[in-house]
Amino acid sequence: MTPDESTLASEPLDALDEQLLLTVRNMHARLDPVPSGLTERIKFELTLAALHAEIAELQQLSPAGVRGDETTYAPTQSVTFTTSRLSLMVTVTAPSDGLLDESAAQGTITVDGWVTVAGTVVELRVGDLSLTVTADEHGRFVLEGVPHGPGRFVLRPPGDGERPIITPSVEL
């Protein structure tokens, strides 16, 4: 280290240092950003760990055998998930389907669902949002005003002590 550097090193931080560090930050954020989806994957893993949840299997996509590839299921119309304890079927409809007005462009969707265990508490997590509804005595439920995006269901069948069930993420 040169004497100049020694002097510089022992001085208090000033505004130029703050500016340099901000530039360093912007540079790294640009060169090597946090991978997209990493925080969501972490949150999912933490949810699993915290809930000791069982993961449901994605069973079927859309009627008429229309399948996406293994990783992308967009846009979802109808999906079935199963575990040993229950099955969940959900159908997604856009209220303004076919209407290319402004509300359709930023529109929300409606999720109609049916779960084989009546009274199951169904939670849908889309981004930071969490919507919760209880399935009726026939196992039916409706969630309205759901934003588009990747979402997953957390199912809590009635009765204490049951592990919750969590589904893989699907594009809504």
Partner 1 sequence: MSIDSPTAGMPSADAAPTLTRRAAQAFTAYRAGERDRMGELVDLLTPVLWHTARGQRLDQSTAEDVVQTAWIRLVEHADAIQDPQAVLGWLVTTVRREAWRVLRQSGRAVPTDDLPEEPAGPPAARSADAGTVDPALVAVLHEGQQQLWHHVKALPQRCQALLRVIAFVDRPDYAALSEALGMPVGSIGPTRGRCLAKLRAALLADPTWSPS
Residue ranges in contact with partner 1 by CB under 8 A: 1-2, 4-6, 8-13, 16-32, 34-35, 38-39, 41-43, 45-46, 49-50, 128-133, 143-145
* Closest CB to partner 1 among residues 25, 67: 25
- Minimum CB separation of residue 166 from partner 1 in Å reads 14
Which are the contacts of 35, defined by CB distance < 8 A and separation ≥ 6?
none
Please answer whether residues 108 and 131 qualify as being in contact, where contact means their C-beta atoms are separated by less than 8 angstroms.
no
- Minimum CB separation of residue 77 from partner 1 in Å reads 22
- Minimum CB separation of residue 135 from partner 1 in Å reads 12
Could you tell me whether strands 54-55 and 165-166 are parallel, antiparallel, or unpaired per DSSP bridges?
parallel
How many CB atoms sit inside 10 A of residue 118's CB? 14
* Closest CB to partner 1 among residues 37, 67: 37
Tokens of 42: 């972490």
* Closest CB to partner 1 among residues 61, 118: 118
* Closest CB to partner 1 among residues 145, 149: 145
- Minimum CB separation of residue 62 from partner 1 in Å reads 25
Cα(134)–Cα(16) distance, integer angstroms: 57
- Minimum CB separation of residue 65 from partner 1 in Å reads 32
* Closest CB to partner 1 among residues 45, 57: 45
Cα–Cα nearest to 119, from 103, 101, 137, 95: 137
- For 49-60, b/e burial (b = at least 16 CB within 10 A) is eeeebeebebee
